[in-house]
Amino acid sequence: MSPAALKLWLNENAELRDAPVGKAVAHNRKSGKRIAAVVPMHTFGHPCDIAGIVEIAGKWNIPVVEDAAEAIGSYAGKTHCGIIGDVGVLSFNGNKTITCGGGGAILTNDAELGKRASI
Ligand SMILES: *Cc1c(COP(=O)(O)O)cnc(C)c1O
């Protein structure tokens, strides 16, 4: 995913609709469905332009779920991949850099979200 492609797609296909409470919510113009998240991934440990993606998603109030399954130990700038979006995910499957045979981890700096994810 590139920030330029994301920006173009959102400009052509999304609209912000007022919500009863809180920020306006991005919806797909054609389907009418809420755009729940942007899910960029870092391929084979090479970081995508996550800062650019976070910036664009932020303008649309869309949370970023960063797929860092292949990027444990990788950095985007000075920051570990997986902790730049609202949520990051790691995989410990057998074919990953660090394995537990299976499983994974959710990373977030949002205490409330972390609490909900740990239940
Ligand atoms: C492996 C992988 C997943 C899935 O991880 P599982 O632990 O097998 O569910 C998701 N995204 C990427 C980019 C992967 O490489």
Instruction: Report how far apart, in Å, the C-alpha atoms of 23 and of each of 11, 16, 26, 33, 61 are.
Output: 18, 9, 10, 16, 7
How big is the CA angle at 6 (ends 5 and 12), to the nearest 5 degrees?
90
Kindly list the protein residues whose Cβ atom lies closer than 6 A to any atom of ligand 1. 41, 67, 69-70, 91, 93, 104
Beta-strand pair 104-107/87-91: antiparallel
Closest Cα to atom 3 of ligand 1: 69
Helix (H, G, I), strand (E, B) or coil at 67: strand
Rounded to the nearest angstrom, the distance between the alpha carbon of 56 and the centre of ligand 1 is 24
Closest Cα to atom 11 of ligand 1: 69
Please give the chain's pLDDT, 119 residues, in tens: 999 999 999 999 999 999 999 999 999 999 999 999 999 999 999 999 999 999 999 999 999 999 999 999 999 999 999 999 999 999 999 999 999 999 999 999 999 999 999 97
Helix (H, G, I), strand (E, B) or coil at 27: strand
Rounded to the nearest angstrom, the distance between the alpha carbon of 102 and the centre of ligand 1 is 10
Global pTM reads 0.93
Give the ranges where 14-75 is alpha helix by DSSP (H).
50-59
